[in-house]
Amino acid sequence: MSDTPAPPTSVDLAAAFEQSGVREVLRELDETMIGLGPVKDRIKETAALLLVDQARRQLGLATETPTLHMSFTGNPGTGKTTVALKMADLLHRLGYVRKGHLVTVTRDDLVGQYIGHTAPKTKEALKRAMGGVLFIDEAYYLYRPENERDYGQEAIEILLQVMENNRDDLVVILAGYAERMDRFFASNPGFRSRMAHHIEFPDYSDTELEKIAGVMLSKQNYVLDDSAQEALREYVTLRRGQPHFANARSIRNALDRARLRQASRLLRTASGPLDAMALSTITSEDIRVSRVFKGGLDPARQTPGPAGTEG
C-alpha cells in the first residue's frame, strides 16, 4: 500500500491569497503610488491569474509555468521602474522567481562597441538577474537596423534564447515609449510572441502630480505655503506643455530646484535664528523664479538622454 498522500480535491483560494503575502504587495501599491488605476488593475489581475495557476497545479490541472515576460509602455516618470520592483516582489512571494530582485539595464549594459564584447555583457546582465526580474529600459535602442555594424541584434538573440529556456528562473520586462515599442516589436516578432503581459502606463493628471509633489515634500519634511501651492499648480500646467516633460520626474526636479532656491533665499535674507517652520517652508518665490513661468525650460531639467527623457 503506497504512503504517498492523495492529491487535494479542492483549494481555498482566499486562504492561499492571505498566506502568500500578495495582499501586502497590492496594499503597498495602492498606498504608495498615486493614480495609475489601469496599471494597478492589471497587476491585481496578474496576481489572481498566478494564484489560480498555483491552485490548478495542486489539483494536477496544469504542468507548465505560465509565460510571465512583460512589456511596460508609457512616457517617462510614470512609475514603470517602481511597479517593476513591486512585480518582482509579488512574483517572489508567489514562488515564480527565487530571489525577487530587480536588475535594471539599458542598451549600454548589454551591447558592446566591438566584436566579441556584446555576448559577455549580455550574459553577465542575465546572470545577475537570474532568480529575479530583468528590467530593460528603452528596450527599442537594442535594435538599430540603420547601422550595419551595430551589435544590438546579437544581444537580442541571446535575450530571446534565455527568455525561452529559463522561463522558470527569469522574468524579463521591456519598457519604453509606446510608439517606439510597437515599432520594436514589429521588427522583432520573437520578442512580441514572448510577451504575455502588455501594460500601458498613463500620464498623471495635474491633480495627481500635485499629490505626488506633496508626498515627495513630506518625505523630506518640507511644506508649501498657500502661495507656493498655487504657484506649483500653475507650474505643472505650464511645464506639461513644454518639451521633455517627464511626469513625476519633472516634478521631482522642480522641487529639488525649489529647495535650492529656498536655501539661497534663507541665507540671503535671514537676520537671526530660524525655527523649524522657516527652514521647512517653500514659498511662491522659490517656485515662480523658474524660467517655466517665462516660457523657458526650468534649469532643473538636465540635458535629455537618447530618448529625450530628463535626467
Complete DSSP assignment for 203-235:
PPPHHHHHHHHHHHHHHTT-EE-HHHHHHHHHH
Percent of the chain with pLDDT over 70: 92
CA neighbours closer than 13 Å in the CB half-sphere of residue 151: 18
One domain for residues 59 and 192: yes
Alpha-carbon gap, residue 83 to 73, rounded angstroms: 12
One domain for residues 59 and 157: yes
One domain for residues 256 and 115: no
Reading the block at residue 166, the C-alpha cell is 529559463
One domain for residues 82 and 176: yes
Reading the block at residue 65, the C-alpha cell is 509555468
Residue in 50, 55, 61 with CA at minimum distance from that of residue 93: 50
Alpha-carbon gap, residue 77 to 245, rounded angstroms: 9
Domain membership of residue 169 (yes or no) is yes
Domain membership of residue 6 (yes or no) is no
One domain for residues 219 and 257: yes
One domain for residues 78 and 214: no
pLDDT at 18 (0 to 100): 87
Q: Of the candidates 169, 201, 233, which is a domain's last residue?
A: 201
One domain for residues 104 and 45: yes
Judging by DSSP bridges, how do beta strands 223-224 and 133-137 pair with one another? Answer: unpaired
CATH of the domain at 27: 3.40.50.300
One domain for residues 133 and 37: yes
Q: Of the candidates 201, 235, 262, which is a domain's last residue?
A: 201
Q: How many domains does the chain have?
A: 2
Domain membership of residue 212 (yes or no) is yes
DSSP H/E element including 50: helix 37-58
Domain membership of residue 304 (yes or no) is no
One domain for residues 63 and 180: yes
Alpha-carbon gap, residue 58 to 11, rounded angstroms: 8
45, pLDDT greater than 60: yes
Q: What is the pLDDT of residues 73-94, one digit of tens each?
A: 999 999 999 999 999 999 999 9
CATH of the domain at 262: 1.10.8.60
Under DSSP, the state recorded for 138 is T
pLDDT at 232 (0 to 100): 96
Under DSSP, the state recorded for 172 is E
Q: What is the mean pLDDT of residues 101-127?
A: 93
What is the per-residue burial (b if ≥16 Cβ within 10 Å, else e) of 99-128? ebbbbbbbbebbbbeeeeebbebbeebbee
Domain membership of residue 5 (yes or no) is no
User: Which pTM value belongs to this model?
Assistant: 0.85
149, pLDDT greater than 80: no
One domain for residues 214 and 138: no
Alpha-carbon gap, residue 198 to 74, rounded angstroms: 11
Q: What is the mean pLDDT of residues 20-40?
A: 91
Domain membership of residue 41 (yes or no) is yes
Under DSSP, the state recorded for 6 is P
Domain membership of residue 23 (yes or no) is yes
Q: Of the candidates 166, 185, 201, which is a domain's last residue?
A: 201
> Which residues form the domain of 288?
206-294
Q: What is the pLDDT of residues 224-233, one digit of tens each?
A: 999 999 999 9
One domain for residues 47 and 146: yes
Q: How do the residues of the chain divide into helix, strand and coil, expressed in percent and rounded to 5?
A: 55, 10, 35
Domain membership of residue 51 (yes or no) is yes
Judging by DSSP bridges, how do beta strands 281-282 and 223-224 pair with one another? Answer: parallel
Q: What is the pLDDT of residues 258-281, one digit of tens each?
A: 999 999 999 998 888 999 999 999
DSSP H/E element including 104: strand 102-105
One domain for residues 121 and 232: no
Residue in 246, 302, 250, 297 with CA at minimum distance from that of residue 75: 246
